[in-house]
């Protein structure tokens, strides 16, 4: 016991001097590192698990901020998710480096200090720890991509454009869906590998009006393009659009997800449509699982982009919607004229709304049952410069003529949740033919 304690002490002492070493840390090492950070920096970090993988590994999330344990009004919630595909290992490494960078520079580095004082940052370094543990250290192939049940987690979310009710939701996906209900995330990115490009929603389409010239365009397309370019131009080379020798050229280093390749059940569309959280899919390395010697260079290339992207959580407008008594109200609909979101943005349980918008003039409409509909025109500055979105609180007036409130589509309150764990026995096994076809397709496409 004494030797163990001594080792632990020496380890934390060494890592506090030299920072986190560049390398691939297995699940136990990662857990130890995160617990150590949580223990030594309780004022600015809070570690919790959002669930477990199929093989029972905890899905650890480290929260960083001035108030890591709870949400504060006006402080937006931001998140990074890594290693959703188990063999795409660079995101996992970079997110641990980011934790090291942020925690070691708080109160000494002005940018880090302002970021952590003005937002609450949630980091899930590995969404698929089982896949990671079973990965081969290869650049291109798919060993370790899937979870323990052989499922691609980035195809397993409810989809806005097609029904996926016949699908069983994997434990890792359910954990993330539940997580999205516990916090009102505003901005997010999900780190992958196998290409170098920032991909933005939509990833799917049902060939309705969203499909324009081969792109599946969301109502917040201008914001998404800006967010993707913020990453690609803050990255040392992503914006050049041709970082990987074998890939296609991406203009500005960004792409509409659907235009690249259509993808049902993806996590970024789910975040955007159902959780009111704008999410990008960041492809950050040509090689999915590169030699460790390349990790410092990958960190240097991505570090400014990871920080600049976090600062974008302050775009647009935020505020509290209150009823005529001044009490914050949940589920007031806050719409921006000209943006018909599949599911209208609503206030959360604290009565707060956050809308990421580029600088300009906007008309916002607030509806709530039993109250007059309010329409305001506001002038939105560039929030990231001030580390705060424009604050615009709304006080509603009671009205006897109710019924003007926007009706939410049924699917917005209950996205199709798929088959519950207990129903899974009724699923028919896929035919050998389907399995073989899928296998060959995966090998051919060598998906990112
Ligand atoms: C994090 O630290 C707190 C306070 O030191 C402790 O109570 C808690 O158990 C720690 N959490 C984990 C997951 O280790
Ligand atoms: C950040 O918050 C800390 C703790 O409240 C405070 O001491 C510090 O002055 C703040 N720094 C900035 C730049 O806001
Ligand atoms: C926004 O409105 C203000 C007046 O409130 C006006 O001066 C400004 O030019 C407008 N900006 C744009 C981009 O239309
Ligand atoms: Zn991937």
Q: DSSP assignment, residue 322?
A: E
At 357, give phi and psi (nearest 5°): -140, 150
| Angle at CA of residue 206, ends 205 and 207, nearest 5° | 90
Ligand 2 proximal residues by C-beta, below 6 Å:
66, 113-114, 117
Distance CA 287, CA 184 (A): 33
Ligand 1 proximal residues by C-beta, below 6 Å:
35, 38-39, 42, 47
Q: DSSP assignment, residue 175?
A: H
Domain 2-314, architecture per CATH: 3-Layer(aba) Sandwich (3.40)
283 is catalytic: yes
Q: In terms of Cα–Cα distance, which of 321, 301, 300, 400 is closest to 367?
A: 321
What is 317-395's CATH number? 2.60.40.1120
360 CA → ligand 1 middle, Å: 44
Q: Which residue CA neighbors atom 6 of ligand 1 most closely?
A: 39
Residue spans of the chain under pLDDT 50: 16-17, 422-444
Residues paired with residue 425 on neighbouring β-strands, in sequence order: none
Ligand 3 pocket test, candidate residues 361, 363, 364, 376, most atoms within 8 A of CB: 361
pLDDT for the residue 10 = 53
pLDDT for the residue 446 = 55
Read out DSSP for 203-235?
S---SSTTEETTEE--TTHHHHHHHHHHHHHHS
379 CA → ligand 3 middle, Å: 7
Give the torsion sign (CA, 156, 157, 163, 165): positive
Structure tokens at 33: 């590192």
Distance CA 431, CA 133 (A): 28
Q: DSSP assignment, residue 50?
A: E
Structure tokens at 28: 């136990």
Nearest ligand (C-alpha, residue 360)? 3
Contact in structure between 65 and 77 (CB atoms under 8 Å): no
* Contact 377 CB / ligand 3 (< 6 Å): no
108 CA → ligand 2 middle, Å: 10
Contact in structure between 226 and 243 (CB atoms under 8 Å): no
Q: Which residue CA neighbors atom 1 of ligand 1 most closely?
A: 38
pLDDT for the residue 435 = 47
Lay out the sheet containing 360-367: strands in order across. 333-336, 360-367, 374-380
| Angle at CA of residue 336, ends 331 and 342, nearest 5° | 65
Domain parsing of the chain, residue ranges: 2-314, 317-395, 418-447
Q: Which atom of ligand 2 is nearest to the CA of 117?
A: 1
Contact in structure between 81 and 309 (CB atoms under 8 Å): no
pLDDT tens per residue, range 198-257: 999 999 999 889 999 999 999 999 999 999 999 999 999 999 998 897 667 899 999 999
Q: Which of 58, 183, 279, 283 is the catalytic position?
A: 283
């Amino acid at each position: 016991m004494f030797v163990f304690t001594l080792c632990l002490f020496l380890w934390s002492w060494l890592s506090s001097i030299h920072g986190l070493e560049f390398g691939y840390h297995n699940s136990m090492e990662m857990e130890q590192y995160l617990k150590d950070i949580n223990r030594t920096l309780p004022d600015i970090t809070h570690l919790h698990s959002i669930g477990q993988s199929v093989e029972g590994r905890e899905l650890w999330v480290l929260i960083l901020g001035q108030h890591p344990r709870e949400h504060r009004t006006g402080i937006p919630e931001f998140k990074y998710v890594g290693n959703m595909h188990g063999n795409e290992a660079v995101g996992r490494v970079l997110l641990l480096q980011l934790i090291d960078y942020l925690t070691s520079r708080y109160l000494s580095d002005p940018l880090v200090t302002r970021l952590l004082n003005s937002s609450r940052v949630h980091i899930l370094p590995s969404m698929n720890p089982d896949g990671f543990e079973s990965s081969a250290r290869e650049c291109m192939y798919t060993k370790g991509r899937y979870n323990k049940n052989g499922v691609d987690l980035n195809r397993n979310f409810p989809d806005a454009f097609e029904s996926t009710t016949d699908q069983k939701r994997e434990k890792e996906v359910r954990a993330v869906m539940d997580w999205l209900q516990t916090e009102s995330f505003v901005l997010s990115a999900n780190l992958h590998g196998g290409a170098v490009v920032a991909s933005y929603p939509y990833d799917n389409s049902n060939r309705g009006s969203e499909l324009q010239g081969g792109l599946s365009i969301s109502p917040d397309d201008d914001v998404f393009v800006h967010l993707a370019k913020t990453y690609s131009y803050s990255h040392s080379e992503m914006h050049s659009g041709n970082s990987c020798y074998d890939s296609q050229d991406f203009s500005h280093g960004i792409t509409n997800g659907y235009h690249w390749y259509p993808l049902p059940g993806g996590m970024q569309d789910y975040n955007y449509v159902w959780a009111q959280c704008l999410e990008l899919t960041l492809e950050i390395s040509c090689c999915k699982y590169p030699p460790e010697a390349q990790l410092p260079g990958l960190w240097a290339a991505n570090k400014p982009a990871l920080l600049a992207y976090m600062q974008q959580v302050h775009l647009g407008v935020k505020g509290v919607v209150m009823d005529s008594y001044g009490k914050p109200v949940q589920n007031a609909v806050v719409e921006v004229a000209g943006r018909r979101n599949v599911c209208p943005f609503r206030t959360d349980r604290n009565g707060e709304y956050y809308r990421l918008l580029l600088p300009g003039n906007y008309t916002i409409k607030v509806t709530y049952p039993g109250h007059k509909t309010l329409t305001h025109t506001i002038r939105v500055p560039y929030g990231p410069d001030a580390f705060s979105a424009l604050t615009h609180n709304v006080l509603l007036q009671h009205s006897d003529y109710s019924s003007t409130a926007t009706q939410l589509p049924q699917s917005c309150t209950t996205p199709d949740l798929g088959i519950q764990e207990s129903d899974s026995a009724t699923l028919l096994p896929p035919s050998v033919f389907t399995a073989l076809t899928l296998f060959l397709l995966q090998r051919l496409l060598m998906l990112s």
